[in-house]
Structure 1
Amino acid sequence: MKHLKHSTYIIKSKNGLSSMRALIFKCLALFLFGIGFIGCSDFVEVDAPKNVLISETVFNDPATVESALANIYFKMREEGMVSGNLGLTTSLGIYSDELDYFGFDSSYSQFYNHNVIAGNNTILGWWSHAYNIIYSANDIIKGVDNSDALTAEEKDNFKGQALFVRAYFHSLLANIYGDIPYIKTTDYRENNEVSRLPLTDVYENIITDLMDSVDLLEVMDGNSGERVLPGQDVAKALLARMYLYTEQWELAASMATDLIDTYSLETDINHVFLKESPETIWQLKPGDSPRNTQEANQLVIQFIPGQIYALSDTFLEAFEAGDLRHANWVESISNTDNTVTLHFAHKYKALFTETESLEYSILFRLAEQYLIRAEARAYLGNIPGAQEDINTIRNRAGLANNSASTVNDLMEAILQERQVELFTEQGHRWFDLKRTGNASEVLSAIKPNWQSTDVLFPIPETELETNPNLLPQNGGY
């Protein structure tokens, strides 16, 4: 694996309790009880158990394993880093150059002003939530492996989903914290004394889990269904992203090509984020119809005053004249006196509907794969191929072909295209600034408190206190 451009990151840990040991016990209790949590069945259309089950019983019946997995996706949708109230979309949007923040939450104000401290509640919540999910995934892997009641096909599918979830959350943690423990066990004694792995080793573990997941998961029909469960293509989508992050260009291009050959771009840019969009690879279904996405509720400004987030002027300047993404994915609102006008992300438009959900939270979509392949092709010297991919995305947005013909010019064009295509989607902009080494250049001009060490978030202080193996603290904190 090649040397990464971004610096080595160090991890943080914390849960809402006092120690990793306490977290493990809590996670187990939540997992065993949570499989009966109301709302999970709405997500995957599987009836959840009505009573508390012991772990061994869960893995004697495929329906209860499905409910256990449904509980994981429920947590992803409602509670944390991916789509919930602590989601990366808004927090990393205000940490980078996408969003302005008008709220009064001290944790988020620290993000916006770049004066985050190790006791920040959001930092703590991310760590706790992610490892809670990872623990549940590991419990499913262990239970499925030890089950004598499940068929081989059922085992493969359940284990493949759990391996993907484990890899996905470790990938988010690594991007936020850097060097992190890679947890593969439910043994609380081991988890209570975990140490961090170097980032390169973390990525190797992620890729290994994803490759195993691809081998185990079912091949989903990319042109039908709601795509709310992770199949083989979802694992491939994350694999392509990981190969990009680790500069394995040929593998990144190859994996992205598999998906580009399977899915198709939505031709109407105003329909990209509807639940039936053909370019969606994976999305989280809202719990109770006609409920729509967390993203619309968080990002759409209904009143001034009353707004929490708005698109920054710096971000708005990135759009070219005539870009249909600006016309369709950005909206504005003024106060009653017309003295203040703010712009907001309008990719998700449905706040309230009366009969059915119109939009689900999209986590992977085909446009990203085109941009992954464009970047990989540029570094491989395939200039015409890179141009073709970037222009596919540009043409859909109503823009003329980009004529960049050198690797440096192409990379500048690709990163700019990623900025305006993937804005307010799970922190892509921040991760791109960090992985390319451009964070200081871009953010030092607009964030007065910016320091180069801000490319990492601090390790939650309570986790350092309870597990000295996670020391030292990240630089700058």
Structure 2
Amino acid sequence: MKRYILPALALTLLASSCKLDLTPENAITYSNAFSTEAELNTTTTTIHFYLDNCMDAFTPLTKVGLLADETQDDGQLREGNPRSIIQASADWEYVYRMIFEANLLLDNIDKTEGLSEERYAYHAGQAHFALGFGYFMLSRAYGQAVITENAKDLKTYGLSTQQQVIDAGIEHALKAFELLPTYDKLRTTSGSVPASKQYGSKGNSATLLAHLYAWKGSMAELYGESSVDATEAYRKSVEYASKVINGEVGTYSLVSTPEELCQLLSDPSATNPEEIFTLVYDKSRGNESTSKNEVANLFATWPVNSTLTEGDLAQASFRLKKSTIQKLYPDANDARRTAFFYEFNTDHTVSGVNYAVPYKFRNAVFAIDQSAESGKSFLSINANYVYWRLADVYLLRAECANKLGDTSMAISDLNKIRSRAGAKTYPASGESDLKKAIFREREREFILENDTRYYDILRNGYVKTELTGKFPTLSTADIAGGALCLPIPSSAQRDKDGKVINGLILQRPYWFRYM
């Protein structure tokens, strides 16, 4: 991959907390780096490289939010111990590398000769989608973040408010939505349909907008921001979710059963009609390459990891008890119990604990390990990270429709997912809280699969009831001071020697007291 970063960009990179190699390679400079589409595509490819590698910036909150009974090493983190969260050393560096590359493309795409309108839209659309996704993720995990105007202005940036970061995400996602065609009409530089749904398209841009607007409205309510029209934000979320559900922005459909879903999620090469946006697992990158789906890897254990035995269940990084899953799925006919968990109707008891055995992802990748008795060691779940699928959009629309008072749509969408699982429709016996029912359905549907639960908790205002440890004791001032977000990475303020490089970026008040 050709690289073309100039020393003159150093100040911008420092402001963005990006630590890139500033030495040009292959004598590529601004004067010739974008002269052909092949050269332009180098930047598009780099954007996707960083998009595929940016999720580590959010790991601590993912772990905090997961539904789990036991954990091997992250108990203090999950209880909101500030020092444990700080020590987790989350860094938004790769997110800003992606943002920088996207801005770099948009700054220079007009230099590309002979670029048709269609090809312009493809490359610019990928950049805008990456920017929209990047700012969305930053607004969720860090709250306040840096919004960079471009890749060329030599200036330092301060932090923007959470709502400003959300609006930046919306601005770019709208541009991606307008520029990009549906996935089936996308064409790469070689003229082929992209090999994965990691590429920005009209469908995943609409899904991004649905999530951005839902987040915008719910954060306005959580933080009491009266200047933001939360109701209008929820309407916009429903509007874009409906475009996805109604097939206006691509062809997506729910698979027939939870069992079929598990089989598709477990095969990176499979065509999954429910899949909207995915981070690809590229095993060709090296012998140590792992799936971007950290959640699936955290729960991985016997029998998928064939180097283990049933007696090793208590050693998994994250663990669930059978009683917890029985409570989560009170309907014994809910097919997700037996699809998502191995031999669910059989007890798997280790040291007095009856465990539910994760089985949503069925296949693993192993590394050769001559020191191991089996001659191999577990490397990763063999799966792409299907970040958004159609069930997510149905349940997000249900959530926002209910907030708007449209209980008919909310119940219909909720029951669409329940019916696929063969579960009793809403209201089942004892159900009267539609908001909580939708939240629980998202737990049931996405358990073991993705990072959504922490952000679902925040959107619904369930911090004090669904999180443990320090979280239920947080004051209004703590929350306003950033307690529900990650601390601003130190690399955004200081260099490796501790020298201040950006005095405009200040740590959030809640975290400052622990530093």
- TM-score between the two structures when normalised by the length of structure 2: 0.72
Letter in 2 for 1:281: I
Mapped contact 2:15–2:492 kept (Cα < 8 A): no
Supply the distance in 1 between the matched residues of 2:365 and 2:128 (Cα, whole angstroms): 35
**Aligned mates of 2:215, 2:272 — CA distance in 1:** 27
- Give the counterpart letter for 1:212 in structure 2: K
Give the secondary-structure state (helix, strand or coil) at the position aligned to 1:455. Answer: coil
Change (3 A) 1:313 1:473: farther
Q: Tell me the distance in 2 between the aligned counterparts of 1:139 and 1:159.
A: 11
- Structure 1 CA distance for aligned equivalents of residues 98 and 275 of structure 2: 23
Kindly report which structure 2 residues correspond to 1:375-394, keeping only aligned pairs within 5 A, or say none. 375-394=399-418
Contact 2:277–2:389 (CA under 8 A) maintained in structure 1: yes
Q: CA deviation at 1:268?
A: 2.2
Q: CA deviation at 1:54?
A: 3.4
Q: Does 1:318 align with 2:328?
A: yes
Asked if residue 299 in structure 1 is aligned to residue 299 in structure 2, the reply is yes
In the alignment, structure 1 residue 203 sits paired with structure 2 residue 166: yes
* 1:138 pairs with one of 88, 91, 103: 103
Equivalent in 250, 261, 267 of residue 246 of structure 2: 261
Deviation of 1:217 (Å): 1.0
Which stretches in structure 1 are left out of the alignment for 5+ residues? Answer: 1-16, 34-50
Tell me if structure 2 keeps the 8 A contact 1:100–1:310.
yes
Larger RCO: Structure 1 or Structure 2 (Cα < 8 Å, ≥ 6 residues apart)? 1
The residue aligned with 2:67 is 98
Larger of the two Rg values belongs to structure: 2
Distance across 2 between alignment mates of 1:463 and 1:389: 42
- Residues 120 and 466 of structure 1: CA distance in aligned 2, closer, same or farther (over 3 Å): farther
Matched, 1:362 2:371: no
> How far apart are the structure 2 equivalents of 1:178 and 1:428?
16
User: Which residue of the other structure, out of 117, 122, 129, is the alignment partner of 1:157?
Assistant: 122
Give 3-state SS (helix, strand or coil) of 1:469's partner: coil
Structure 2 spans left out of the alignment, 5+ residues? 1-9, 187-192, 218-232, 303-307, 368-380, 494-499
- Out of 445, 453, 458, the residue aligned to residue 487 of structure 2 is 458
Q: How do 1:345-424 residues align onto structure 2 when only pairs under 5 Å count?
A: 345-352=358-365, 359-403=383-427, 409-424=433-448
CA distance in 1, matches of 2:351, 2:83: 38
8 Å CA contact 1:228–1:284 kept in 2: the answer is yes
2:14 pairs with one of 14, 21, 36 = 21
Q: With structure 1 as the length reference, what TM-score do the two structures score? A: 0.78
Q: Map of 1:164-183 to 2, 5 A cutoff?
A: 164-183=129-148
Instruction: Tell me: CA distance 1:80–1:110, structure 2 relative to 1, closer, same or farther (3 Å).
Output: farther
Q: Determine if contact 1:299/1:346 at 8 Å carries over to the other structure.
A: no
**Distance apart, 1:318 and its partner CA:** 2.4
- Report what 1:470 is aligned to: 505
User: Any conservation in 2 of the 1:292–1:359 contact (CA below 8 Å)?
Assistant: no
SS at structure 2 position matched to 1:347: coil
Letter in 2 for 1:94: K
The alpha-carbon distance between structure 1 residues 427 and 315, as it changes in their structure 2 partners (threshold 3 A), is farther
The CA RMSD over aligned residues, in Å, is 3.7
CA distance in 1, matches of 2:237, 2:362: 32
453-462 vs 388-397, which deviates more? 453-462
Kindly state the Cα deviation for residue 93 of structure 1 after the two structures are TM-superposed: 4.0
| Alpha carbons of structure 1 residues 375 and 112: separation in structure 2 relative to 1, 3 Å | closer
CA distance in 2, matches of 1:368, 1:257: 12
Distance change >3 Å, CA 156–CA 121, structure 1 → 2 = farther
Q: Which deviates further from its counterpart, 418-427 or 19-28?
A: 19-28
Q: Residue deviations 1:78-113, cap 9 Å, x none?
A: x341xxxx374x643431251356445xxx565234
Say how many residue pairs are matched. Answer: 427
Match of 1:330 in 2: 341
Partner SS state of residue 510, structure 2: coil
**Distance (Å, rounded) in 2 between the aligned partners of 1:314 and 1:466:** 52
Query: Are positions 1:74 and 2:49 aligned together?
Result: yes
Letter in 2 for 1:287: D
Alpha-carbon separation, structure 2, partners of 1:369 and 1:61: 38
Q: Is the 8 A contact 2:279 2:387 kept in 1?
A: yes
- 8 Å Cα contact 1:21/1:189 also seen in 2: no
| 189 and 425 in structure 1: CA distance in 2 versus 1, 3 angstrom threshold | farther
Q: Equivalents in 2 of 1:101, 1:52: separation in Å?
A: 53
2:276 match: secondary structure: strand
Q: 3-state SS of the aligned residue for 1:363?
A: strand
CA offset at residue 362 of structure 1? 0.6
Aligned letter for 1:456?
A: C
Asked if structure 2 preserves the Cα contact closer than 8 Å seen for 1:256 and 1:369, the reply is yes
The Cα shift of 1:143 comes to 1.9
Counterpart Cα distance in 2 of 1:68 and 1:345: 39
